[in-house]
Structure 1
Amino acid sequence: MRPLSIEGLWEMTPQQHPDPRGRFMEWYRFDRLAEVVGHPLDLAQANLAVSALGVVRGIHFADVPPGQAKFVTCPAGAVLDVIVDMREGSPTFGHWEAVRLDGDTHRAVYISEGLGHGYCALTDSATVAYLCSSVYAPERERAVHPMDADLRIEWPVLGEPRLSERDRNAPTLKQLSQEGLLPEYDACRRFTDALDAAPGKGTRR
């Protein structure tokens, strides 16, 4: 795993073992993730979504605490996965990073609490699977409009993106900030530091 430009965001590409029958890989390792992140991902929910070409999902995040950390991969097809720093006070607040996830490399990203997540389908059908640290709780779920002019995310979509009603009507990052609905960087750090310090949770490198 390697860290990306936003604190709390890592990228991982599994080693694949092909043979005449097909191929095998460990696409998720509890222990190795914990060694890098500082604590294990407490798996509470696993999601799978299949999207058509041009579909954009997100940008979604959850209130912290407890937030929702995610380990995201694309087992079939391809997506451009986009992660946005929603944490007010962060050195990279409002910045975003994009990673191509696909069924060839099986690259994955680990997204810490307080970061927003979305993606765009690059193939006729794209499957995204993600492991989550907390269950879905509508009262804590937030969304930012994926076409927010201030974020200037470069979605690789020809024409109008295909959005859900929720995402089409989502507020901008500025609107959420004005309403006090964004996570605070210091609160996110305190939360993850507490996870690091819990007995048996591993040590940050």
Structure 2
Amino acid sequence: MIFKETKLKGCFIIEPKVFSDNRGYFMESYNKEIFDSGIGEPVNFVQDNQSFSSRGVIRGLHYQIGNHAQAKLVRVLSGRVLDVAVDLRKGSPSFGEYVAVELSGQNKKQLYIPRGFAHGFAVLSETAEFFYKCDNYYNKESEGGILYNDSTLNINWELPLSEHLISEKDSVLPKFKDANL
């Protein structure tokens, strides 16, 4: 696996080694020893989540606060998404900045998002199957979010506005300046 740290300290793009032939492909998507060594610290994943979405769906920006904060290792099994991580770590030189990475079933890239970040994604293909590992259990009382189209963050979701499909819950999230961080 190749680990590339993004401009946001602790947030990594991970490219697995893929072995292909006329039968298909094989790849190791996760190996704890290699992963921990690649990001420079141990992470204990305890929960896996998976979603299926149609083109235009934007999920996020979500995070967990306090003792229930979560680190995530995300990837796309089929389709294409624009995956976004926003640094919410007060005192971080990149506080309020984001990275956006295209993840797809074809490129097989993964994104590691440490605790202290908001996360979201937009589906760029007809459909997408999204999979992620979390290092902490979901806790509804610790749930937080930021409005996906907040002008302070100015995220380019790479979809025309007319195609944005947002849940009712995500459409009323607070702006970055008002978020409970």
Amino acid at match of 1:170: L
Q: Is the 8 A contact 1:64 1:114 kept in 2?
A: no
Q: What amino acid sits opposite 1:47 in the alignment?
A: N
CA deviation vs aligned residue, 1:2-60 (integer Å, no higher than 9, x gap): 10000120011111111221100011121111112233321211000111101100011
Identify the residue that residue 32 of structure 2 maps to in structure 1. Answer: 30
Q: Work out whether 1:120 is the aligned partner of 2:122.
A: yes
The residue correspondences of 1:29-108 to structure 2 (distance < 5 A) are 29-108=31-110
Give, as a single letter, the amino acid of the residue that structure 2 aligns with 1:175.
Answer: D
Partners of 2:138 and 2:84 in 1: how far apart?
A: 20
1:6-21 to 2 correspondences below 5 Å: 6-21=8-23
Q: Which runs of 4+ in 1 moved over 6 A?
A: none
Structure 1 CA distance, aligned partners of 2:90 and 2:63? 13
TM-score, normalised relative to structure 2: 0.95
Superposed displacement of residue 139, structure 1: 0.5
* Structure 1 unmatched ranges of 5 or more: 183-205
- Report the structure, 1 or 2, having the larger strand content: 2
Structure showing greater Rg: 1
Q: Distance in 2 between matches of 1:11 and 1:148?
A: 25
Corresponding residue to 2:171 among 168, 173, 176: 168
Give the secondary-structure state (helix, strand or coil) at the position aligned to 2:169.
Answer: helix
Give % identity: 35
Q: Report how many residues are paired.
A: 178
Q: 2:68–2:138: 8 Å Cα contact kept in structure 1?
A: no
RMSD: 1.1
